[in-house]
Amino acid sequence: MTQKFDRIVVVGGGSAGWMTAMALVTGLKGRVNVEVVESEEIGIVGVGEATFPSIRHYNQLVGIDETEFLRATNGTYKLGIRFCDWLEVGRDYFHTFGHFGNLFGSQTLWAQYRRMRLAEPLGLQCVPTVMAMQGRFALPSEQDQFKYAYHFDAVRYAAFLRQLAMQRGARHTQGRIVDVVRRADGGVAAVQLDDGRRVEGDIFVDCSGFRSLLLGGALQEPFVDFSHWLPVDGAWACPTERVGEELAPYTQATALEGGWAWRIPLQNRTGHGHVFASRFIDPERAREQLLARLDGKPVAEPRLLRFTTGHRQRFWVNNVIAIGLSSGFLEPLESTSIYLIQDGISRLMTMLTAGRPLDENDRALFNDGSVRRFARIRDFIILHYCLTRRRDSELWRHVATMELPETLAFRMELWRRYGVLHEYDEEGFDATSWLAIHAGMEHWPERDDPVFAEIPPERALQALQGRRNAIAASVARMPLHHQMLGQVLR
Ligand SMILES: Cc1cc2nc3c(=O)[nH]c(=O)nc-3n(C[C@H](O)[C@H](O)[C@H](O)COP(=O)(O)OP(=O)(O)OC[C@H]3O[C@@H](n4cnc5c(N)ncnc54)[C@H](O)[C@@H]3O)c2cc1C
């Protein structure tokens, strides 16, 4: 059965809905009608302030100017994440979007670092990590190449995209969907609004958030539950006023008794939240813990969000494609939701621009790729938890001893035995990211590779120290994050 797509209805106007609409009107210019249906009364989830470097790629593809974007969204630069108290209370490490590189030509640097048993963090060998430690930011250069992302106000981002997408021809329909009209083949023919209007379409992109109105609701697609491995199921979010001039160029994620707390600096305020597992901590206690941590005056009441980690079994069924929270959620530890939205959009655009009606193969490829992408990112997030040495609460005892997904257990075994950073297809994070977590959590291979011992230890040490000093000196000349932002936004 093939499916035409002249009329595309996007259900939902959060980040997922407007990112999708913007990509459609840009990539299929004038060839399709795009209509976004959203309910102002229901609103959007509005969290989702930390991103992944791929957001830059998305913005470039749809023609968004970086400075305009930073202005419109109160955005700041993000070099990565600082993880506090994950290994043990009082210990921290960075996962930034940069490489550790090689030594002596093609030798992996980490292996020499490990061989020397240095007490200083491996991160000192990585330019963006040192930038993050020093609170500095400069754009990548020929000499210092690394990726970066942003922190931004998700509500403003959706509004910014809406304005641009409408300028490019997207239709915007306000109204609460109260019913879904089905086709004889089980697909969706139209959505029915509370004032009696009907919005008909050929395909429907379900961006309705956790409600999953079409895929989970009307089509009843089962949910694949990951909460055994990712047990967090709630979050308190509470923004505060910005305190002081300085801005951290990173997200901070601090492990707590029953979950972890985020700290996300924007230009005008700081996002705070506590993601918790209600199996292990009472939500009220989680709220109190968040309030006790705030480092500024709250600008809103703490807001509670509930979720289950996992995804719909299939992401695309009949003529409904789910993108965003309606398709699944993996918890925000590595800021991957907007990346997954982008991933869904890019898969869809590849198929829509192929110049023929959609068929079963498109659906199968979309579903297969999306399921694997979720599984890869799930494994990466679990890695942050399962390597902990903490045993001070039920949550940490659970994650330290739980049975792991086979795919993760296999790659951890390869790392431990042979020092191999195995990669599957559809990875969300490359080997350097995996290395950053292994190193930060002091999880090293059982033995040093004898090949690396051929370099005399003094030479290896000298090379490591030389590189570390050169990076520190070069970063010290960069502007502080708020200075850089000030220059850009001037
Ligand atoms: C605690 C928490 C922290 C997060 N942190 C991050 C992060 O740091 N980084 C990141 O990338 N992601 C993060 N996310 C995820 C991120 O918030 C979402 O991926 C992103 O906001 C996209 O949401 P969405 O558009 O899918 O859903 P929503 O924003 O919820 O939008 C749903 C839309 O559907 C509409 N809708 C629903 N029902 C109806 C109806 N009946 N009729 C009409 N319209 C309807 C709503 O009005 C709304 O417009 C976080 C999520 C949570 C819960």
The CATH number of the domain covering residues in 234-306: 3.30.70
Residues of the chain with CATH 3.30.70: 234-306
Q: Does the C-beta of 428 come closer than 6 Å to ligand 1? A: no
Q: Whose CA is nearest to atom 17 of ligand 1?
A: 48
> pLDDT per residue over 245-293, tens digit each?
999 999 999 999 999 999 999 999 999 999 999 999 999 999 999 999 9
For 259, 390, 404, the CA distances from 280, given in Å and listed in that order, are 9, 15, 19
- Per-10-residue mean pLDDT of the chain, 490 residues long, equals 90 97 96 96 89 96 97 98 98 95 85 94 96 97 92 96 97 98 97 98 98 98 97 98 94 98 97 98 98 96 97 98 98 97 97 93 97 98 98 98 98 96 94 96 93 90 95 96 97
Q: Does the C-beta of 230 come closer than 6 Å to ligand 1? A: no
User: What pLDDT is attached to residue 2?
Assistant: 82
Residues of the chain with CATH 3.50.50.60: 7-75+152-227+313-376
* 7-75+152-227+313-376: CATH superfamily: FAD/NAD(P)-binding domain (3.50.50.60)
- The reply to whether 78 belongs to the active site is yes
For 90, 99, 357, 444, the CA distances from 110, given in Å and listed in that order, are 24, 10, 49, 10
Whether the ipTM is more than 0.95: the answer is yes
CA 20 to centroid of ligand 1, rounded, Å: 13
User: What pLDDT is attached to residue 178?
Assistant: 98
User: What pLDDT is attached to residue 3?
Assistant: 82
User: What pLDDT is attached to residue 142?
Assistant: 86
CA 40 to centroid of ligand 1, rounded, Å: 13
CA 427 to centroid of ligand 1, rounded, Å: 23
Task: Assess contact for 240 and 75: CB atoms under 8 A.
Answer: no
User: What pLDDT is attached to residue 446?
Assistant: 95
CA 419 to centroid of ligand 1, rounded, Å: 39
User: What pLDDT is attached to residue 52?
Assistant: 93
* Mutate-to-test residue for ligand 1 from 54, 208, 210, 311, highest number of ligand atoms within 8 A of CB: 208
Looking at residue 216, the DSSP 8-state letter turns out to be I
What secondary structure, in 3-state letters, does 294-348 show?
CCCCECCCCEEEECCCEEECCCEECCEEECCCCCEECCCCCCCHHHHHHHHHHHH
Question: Can you tell me which atom of ligand 1 is nearest the CA of 42?
Answer: 47
User: What pLDDT is attached to residue 101?
Assistant: 84
What single letter denotes the amino acid at residue 346? Answer: S
> pLDDT per residue over 431-463, tens digit each?
999 999 999 999 999 998 888 888 999 999 999
* Mutate-to-test residue for ligand 1 from 20, 39, 41, 45, highest number of ligand atoms within 8 A of CB: 45
Q: Does the C-beta of 17 come closer than 6 Å to ligand 1? A: yes
| CB proximity list for 203: less than 8 A, separation 6 or greater | 3, 5, 7, 8, 9, 319, 320, 321, 358
**Residue for token pair 């530890």:** 333
